[in-house]
Amino acid sequence: MIKHIVMWKVAGETQEEKLESIQKVKSAFDGIADVVPGLTRVEIGVDVSRIDYACDVVLYSEFESQAALDNYITHPAHLKLKEDLAGVRVARYQVDYVADRAA
């Protein structure tokens, strides 16, 4: 299994604008697991710490294999999602790793 984690700082000068950007990210991922083969789990989390160095939103997802993750990157649903979210992020961080089966 491959775990794919992405964190974003989102655009917005005010708290309301940031919340609007966060909602846009959350909505963009609705139903994507149903259309991307090998994507087994999608979870969107919103930061509650409000620490200045924290990201605003995190995507936690699991894929059956590296091939499934590779397919996701070029899948039309993911490409549309990226297009829909253009301009929403101001910073993005990503980690992909093979899950430890013993854990």
Q: What is the pLDDT of residue 4?
A: 98
Output the pTM of the full model: 0.90
Range of the domain at 54: 2-98
Helix (H, G, I), strand (E, B) or coil at 51: coil
Q: How far apart are CA 63 and CA 31, in angstroms?
A: 15
Residue 32 in contact with residue 97, Cβ under 8 Å? Answer: no
Asked whether residue 87 is domain-assigned, the answer is: yes
Residue 44: closest CA among 31, 25, 63: 25
**What's the total number of domains in the chain?**
1
Q: Mean pLDDT across the stretch 9-36?
A: 94
DSSP 8-state symbol, 59: E
Q: Is residue 103 part of a domain?
A: no
**75-98 average pLDDT score:** 95
CATH number for position 46:
3.30.70.100
Q: Quick check: 96 pLDDT over 80? A: yes
